[in-house]
Chains A and B, each alone.
Chain A
């Protein structure tokens, strides 16, 4: 089985879908001859031609609008955003035009909006954000945030095949940092299903994307203390896999929710509410949130490190929770 980076896995996933289905095409800024700012579509234009790999003007609303329009004719567009921070430029198209289309007038929008998100790369306030919650709050969208190369490939393929608009947040910190065995053959990872990234008995860490790796590192340290942490990788943050959340809470009775985006209005609040509604009696301790600060993502490395959740934060909070 070949070892692939997270980025290469996404690239292969899109490539294979374009081979498989002529209605799949890509559009975005600098994705053609240049191959994309991070080279996710490298070589695509040579293989699939400029008709199916379209370099667009720098116009995010037009990119999403055009993708939606093409999807109405039965195409399956994959729109790249150079950085997911720029998705704000297309916000109205996404939440008002695309997300509501099926509910309002029965128009499916089988399109994917994908691109790099996330911090820890010293990108500053406009190249480091995790804007997924803006879209979790917009019914009609699916929001996907893979943590592993295997999942990234399987999830991008599912996203392209899905009949709904999917916003696919790739984590740029993971692009070339992780390398895993990824099957060369066709497989998919279903949307809306979490996975257990580490089985454990004592407490659960519910997280996704790059924070899965932070949690895994913390779990190794905790294991030396005799604390056996379970890690749930949500993979899809909308719609949430509520069953998986409840199941792990019922198993360990203690839960930490860890995410890279800001605390207030973050996903942890929603997950805590779900646990409160459906598994309150199963809790042996308070629900713990570990998140970024309620601030924009700062640029300077010491500041960004302070801003982001760290392995040491997870270890500290897990030890505190374990005492209950």
Chain B
């Protein structure tokens, strides 16, 4: 959630016509007058504030700010052609409708545990992952089920995860988006704690670089998750090592039930980039074109060995934390504001307005997605639960189960003769 940053804004974050990369605008400039810039691709810059207030005997969240602004069009993408935009649109549709199907499966008692939704965040998941190449890596968070689809997992895979089926990617051993693939899709399975993927993805880029290849690696963190210490550690490590990390900070305004205003106190989370020494970018997370363009530029930087980028995507989580949570703590007016900025409706309108799709083609595309989902759902529902004893095994990697070899070729080995095998120095610590 954006909010007014009182006082010292102008001296620290003065936006100038700089390189836009979160670096000082001029090396010659007086160091006491540092100026930085955060690239902001948004066409509207809403300023809200969420506060806890006493209403009668209750404490509630209230929102202040202009909630009546008209919805701007999508920003024209500098990079996406018609075909690519339609592909992204299709991924977003699949993402949303798959989650609707999961909600129904949950209501039918077929899901084990909860269901997590990316409703309202489909552009951020799908258009970001779309910027990666097949040999690059992604680490999704719980709401980035769309990213998993783009990386090549099927709706069937995700449904089977939620239903804890034997044929799920983790063979029933973990739930939701908690799966990955190191062989083909290059996806790191997330864990439930927040921020831990950031150093891991940085390490993936490090591994690839040691093998002579600069790749882009992408992961996500929320406005809530960015509060964790490992987020700082991972970003700082990536910055110091100039690793090709592309971090989407998905500012969806709510960390479970706690509003962004209670998670951090900078105006924009992209400002964090300045302190890490990396470029920061702000995008409207409901605009697939902005998300893609920022992701693409960050990936290109990564591929050229120029280091990490932090992209803040502003949007709203349009459901509760998980299916059990009705999100009654969210002011209704905020839902109304963001419902008008539905990422799929916005992209659909964009495609129709530009005549990239005719209404009939659109209906055919939607029908195709529904048909695919129906098949995936039927398959997932009919597939068996795991045998109880399949809980056993696989704790360790046996010699036979994996052959470990560098993915991008033989690592660079710069052995010199200058080293000596015999140790030269004695202990430098005082502990004897």
Confirm or deny: A214 has a beta carbon within 8 angstroms of a beta carbon on chain B: no
Confirm or deny: A73 has a beta carbon within 8 angstroms of a beta carbon on chain B: yes
Confirm or deny: A296 has a beta carbon within 8 angstroms of a beta carbon on chain B: no
B414, A11: Cβ atoms under 8 Å? no
A65, B404: Cβ atoms under 8 Å? no
B196, A93: Cβ atoms under 8 Å? yes
B414, A61: Cβ atoms under 8 Å? no
Interface residues of A in 48-72 (CB under 8 A from B): 48-49, 51-52, 54, 56-57, 59-72
A127, B394: Cβ atoms under 8 Å? no
Q: Chain A residues near B424 (CB, 8 Å)? A: 42-43
Q: Which residue of A lies closest to B139 (CB)?
A: A69
- Tell me the complex Cα distance, A49–B407, Å: 21
A70, B210: Cβ atoms under 8 Å? yes
B425, A42: Cβ atoms under 8 Å? yes
Confirm or deny: B300 has a beta carbon within 8 angstroms of a beta carbon on chain A: no
B428, A39: Cβ atoms under 8 Å? yes
Tell me, rounded to whole Å, the shortest Cβ–Cβ distance linking B148 to chain A.
Answer: 12
Confirm or deny: B429 has a beta carbon within 8 angstroms of a beta carbon on chain A: yes
A69, B180: Cβ atoms under 8 Å? no
Tell me, rounded to whole Å, the shortest Cβ–Cβ distance linking B354 to chain A.
Answer: 40
A110, B404: Cβ atoms under 8 Å? yes
Q: Chain B residues near A62 (CB, 8 Å)? A: 199, 202, 230, 233-234, 236-237
- Tell me the complex Cα distance, A38–B425, Å: 9
A23, B427: Cβ atoms under 8 Å? no
- Tell me the complex Cα distance, A52–B399, Å: 25
A47, B418: Cβ atoms under 8 Å? yes
Q: Which residue of A lies closest to B417 (CB)?
A: A47
Tell me, rounded to whole Å, the shortest Cβ–Cβ distance linking B237 to chain A.
Answer: 4
- Tell me the complex Cα distance, A43–B408, Å: 28
Which of B65-73, B187-195, B367-375 is found at the contact surface with chain A? B187-195
Interface residues of A in 69-104 (CB under 8 A from B): 69-77, 92-93, 96-97, 100-104
Confirm or deny: A8 has a beta carbon within 8 angstroms of a beta carbon on chain B: yes
A106, B427: Cβ atoms under 8 Å? no
A39, B234: Cβ atoms under 8 Å? no
- Tell me the complex Cα distance, A104–B399, Å: 18
B428, A100: Cβ atoms under 8 Å? no
A74, B189: Cβ atoms under 8 Å? no
- Tell me the complex Cα distance, A47–B425, Å: 16
Confirm or deny: B184 has a beta carbon within 8 angstroms of a beta carbon on chain A: no
B208 CB contact (under 8 Å) in A73, A101, A140: A73
For B, the interface residue count at a CB cutoff of 8 angstroms equals 71
B414 CB contact (under 8 Å) in A7, A38, A48, A59: A48
B203, A48: Cβ atoms under 8 Å? no
Interface size class on chain A is 35 or more
Tell me, rounded to whole Å, the shortest Cβ–Cβ distance linking A76 to chain B.
Answer: 7
Confirm or deny: B200 has a beta carbon within 8 angstroms of a beta carbon on chain A: yes
B428, A37: Cβ atoms under 8 Å? yes
Write out, one digit per residue, whether chain A residues 20-38 have a CB within 8 A of any chain B CB (1) or not (0): 0011010000000011011
Which of B193, B204, B420: most chain A Cβ within 10 A?
B204
Q: Chain B residues near A168 (CB, 8 Å)? A: none
Q: Which residue of B lies closest to A19 (CB)?
A: B415
B230, A93: Cβ atoms under 8 Å? yes
Q: Which residue of B lies closest to A140 (CB)?
A: B395
Confirm or deny: B124 has a beta carbon within 8 angstroms of a beta carbon on chain A: no
- Tell me the complex Cα distance, A175–B428, Å: 13
A23, B432: Cβ atoms under 8 Å? no
B196, A127: Cβ atoms under 8 Å? no
B427, A175: Cβ atoms under 8 Å? yes
Confirm or deny: B179 has a beta carbon within 8 angstroms of a beta carbon on chain A: yes
A39-B426 CB under 8 A given contacts A73-B208, A93-B199: yes
Q: Chain A residues near B415 (CB, 8 Å)? A: 19, 47-49
- Tell me the complex Cα distance, A69–B136, Å: 13
B193 CB contact (under 8 Å) in A11, A68, A96, A106: A96
Tell me, rounded to whole Å, the shortest Cβ–Cβ distance linking A180 to chain B.
Answer: 16
Q: Chain A residues near B355 (CB, 8 Å)? A: none
A74-B406 CB under 8 A given contacts A61-B196, A69-B203: yes
Confirm or deny: B402 has a beta carbon within 8 angstroms of a beta carbon on chain A: yes
B419, A46: Cβ atoms under 8 Å? yes
Q: Chain B residues near A42 (CB, 8 Å)? A: 423-425
Confirm or deny: A172 has a beta carbon within 8 angstroms of a beta carbon on chain B: yes
Which of B43-51, B170-178, B316-324 is found at the contact surface with chain A? B170-178
A104, B170: Cβ atoms under 8 Å? yes
Tell me, rounded to whole Å, the shortest Cβ–Cβ distance linking A59 to chain B.
Answer: 4
Q: Chain A residues near B237 (CB, 8 Å)? A: 56-57, 59, 62-63, 65-66
A107 CB contact (under 8 Å) in B189, B205, B233: B189
Confirm or deny: B83 has a beta carbon within 8 angstroms of a beta carbon on chain A: no
A69 CB contact (under 8 Å) in B181, B205, B397, B412: B205
Confirm or deny: A176 has a beta carbon within 8 angstroms of a beta carbon on chain B: yes
A108, B406: Cβ atoms under 8 Å? no
Confirm or deny: B33 has a beta carbon within 8 angstroms of a beta carbon on chain A: no
Interface residues of B in 5-41 (CB under 8 A from A): none
- Tell me the complex Cα distance, A91–B402, Å: 26
- Tell me the complex Cα distance, A49–B202, Å: 20
Tell me, rounded to whole Å, the shortest Cβ–Cβ distance linking A267 to chain B.
Answer: 19
- Tell me the complex Cα distance, A318–B114, Å: 56
- Tell me the complex Cα distance, A35–B423, Å: 10
- Tell me the complex Cα distance, A139–B392, Å: 12
Q: Which residue of A lies closest to B396 (CB)?
A: A164
Write out, one digit per residue, whether chain B residues 241-277 have a CB within 8 A of any chain A CB (1) or not (0): 1000000000000000000000000000000000000
Confirm or deny: B152 has a beta carbon within 8 angstroms of a beta carbon on chain A: no
Given A52-B210, A163-B402, A176-B432, 13 more A-B residue pairs with CB atoms under 8 Å apart are A22-B410, A51-B412, A52-B411, A61-B229, A61-B233, A64-B199, A66-B203, A73-B204, A75-B211, A96-B191, A97-B196, A105-B178, A163-B404
29 A-B contacts (beta carbon < 8 Å):
A7-B423, A22-B413, A23-B411, A35-B425, A42-B425, A51-B414, A60-B233, A61-B233, A62-B233, A65-B200, A66-B202, A66-B206, A66-B241, A67-B203, A69-B207, A72-B207, A74-B207, A75-B207, A92-B230, A97-B200, A105-B169, A105-B174, A107-B188, A109-B397, A110-B397, A110-B404, A139-B395, A163-B398, A164-B396
Closest 3 CB pairs of A and B: A69-B203, A47-B419, A65-B199
Binding site for A on B (CB under 8 A): 137, 169-170, 173-174, 178-182, 188-189, 191-193, 196, 198-208, 210-211, 217, 229-230, 233-234, 236-237, 240-241, 394-399, 401-402, 404-408, 410-416, 418-421, 423-429, 431-432
